[in-house]
Structure 1
Amino acid sequence: MSVIEQLKGGLVVSCQPVDGGPMDRPEIVAAMARAAVAGGAAGLRIEGIANLQATRPLVRVPIIGIVKRDLPDSPVRITVTVEDARALIAAGADIVAYDATPRPRPDRRQDIVRAILAQGALAMADCATVTDAQTALAEGAAILGTTLSGYTAETEIGNDGPDLELVSRCRGLGAFVMAEGRFNTPELAARAIVAGADAVTVGSALTRLEIMTSWFCEVVRRQQ
């Protein structure tokens, strides 16, 4: 069964703890990943080479790998260099996700995609708009993610909900669509599938304990 077939109709769990938090250690990320697979996850999204190296030997499901970098001269954070893409594949990523927006970054988008494909992995385009998605398909991406909608200057809309419209518009392009970004309840994940997603990625609501705890604390405090 191909990687795409394994992900079809499934949940991808993004095991990305809060940066610098008490759970931000490779062995804990790997444990999160195993727990997610035990719960039925069809795939995983793992950030960082060390985390990927710790996780890959322990699971058989497809892994989407990314490297996040905070650059002084670019807002782009997700897999910004060819070197990072190659390192992810060497560490065991089946899919490499990259920022598919037109924003400047150290290496060209096209070169990153080319490097991913040259090493036999699939490219997942983290998009903010349907134009990003169209460009990504033309450049060779196999998976369209709605990951960056709401996180670029063009798409900041002050809406806490996911971009179901972008999911639907990507569906119309005929590619594999990964709904990602603020799908933080089972109900929203279900709506993503209805809107046309082939799979759904959920992160903070499952693997960032500090964030989930703060949500509950805020609700409880409001009742005082």
Structure 2
Amino acid sequence: MKTILELLRGGLVVSCQAPAESPLHRAEVIAAMAEAALLNGAVGVRIDSPDHIQAVRAGSDRPIIGLWKQVIPPSAVYITPQFHHAAAVAQAGGDIIAIDATDRPRPGDETLADLIQQIHDRLGKPVMADIDTLDNALKAIDAGADCVGTTLFGYTAATQTEAPPGLALLQDLVQQCSVPVICEGGIASPAQARQALDLGAYAVVVGTAITGIDSLVKGYVETLT
């Protein structure tokens, strides 16, 4: 588990995802995005859903941070919320399982610690805890998370008045966390990615600024009309 994380150290992970309604939301398109990212120096990719993970894995042995976004009302937790989602991600070829590790109510009876332990014991995979606050990062580490990411900063009730990237949060995490800290969310330029590494991030995940064609085009159109 440690070896996979070491492959990410100091590098760029590209999140290759697309909205469900987008024509880009096809396994072969996501796989092509991932291939392009890896050919141009990315150390790994972050991929959503078993089908897309399987398509990326078929063409590469490089590290995949896998997740499965599933909405299970009334819970607001949607990033790999339960063990059977994590198992599907692992079976598809995910190397690191990303999960929501905020303090929001979880669907079903599994606690965060239960989920992490099952991923370790039954799947043999490391866990990336997607968090929003320092407190939740520390709780996730206590529960057994192998690394933490700033993924959900700005996207929960506790942080909704904040805008990613959470560089101040990143600094606090680097100082107080005993596991690798990955900066993810809101990185909009190579300079910001460099800044995150300089602040102590173990690796940087960039999505929209590289692969978010839908939202990027909308932004241009809204500004021009």
Q: TM-score, normalised by structure 2?
A: 0.93
Secondary structure at 2:70's aligned position in 1?
A: coil
Amino acid at match of 1:163: G
Secondary structure at 1:153's aligned position in 2?
A: coil
Could you tell me how far apart the structure 1 residues matched to 2:162 and 2:203 are?
Answer: 25
Shift of 1:54: 0.9
Where does structure 1 lack aligned partners over 5 or more consecutive residues?
none
Could you tell me how far apart the structure 2 residues matched to 1:71 and 1:5 are?
Answer: 33
CA-atom RMSD, angstroms?
A: 1.4
Tell me which residue corresponds to 1:122. 126
> 1:42-81 counterparts in 2 under 5 A?
42-81=43-82
Shift of 1:219: 4.2
Could you tell me how far apart the structure 1 residues matched to 2:196 and 2:216 are?
Answer: 21
> 1:68-217 counterparts in 2 under 5 A?
68-106=69-107, 107-118=110-121, 119-159=123-163, 161-172=164-175, 173-217=177-221
Q: How many residues align?
A: 220
Shift of 1:218: 3.7
Where does structure 2 lack aligned partners over 5 or more consecutive residues?
none
Q: Contact 1:16 / 1:46 at 8 angstroms: preserved in 2? A: yes
| Deviations, residues 83-123 of structure 1 (Å, cap 9, x unaligned) | 01111111111100000011112232112111211121100
Amino acid at match of 2:141: L
Shift of 1:220: 4.0
Pick which of 169-178 and 119-128 moved more. 169-178
Secondary structure at 2:7's aligned position in 1?
A: helix
Q: TM-score, normalised by structure 1?
A: 0.94
Pick which of 39-48 and 161-170 moved more. 161-170
Q: Contact 1:85 / 1:115 at 8 angstroms: preserved in 2? A: no
Could you tell me how far apart the structure 2 residues matched to 1:85 and 1:158 are?
Answer: 29
| Percent of aligned positions that are identical | 40
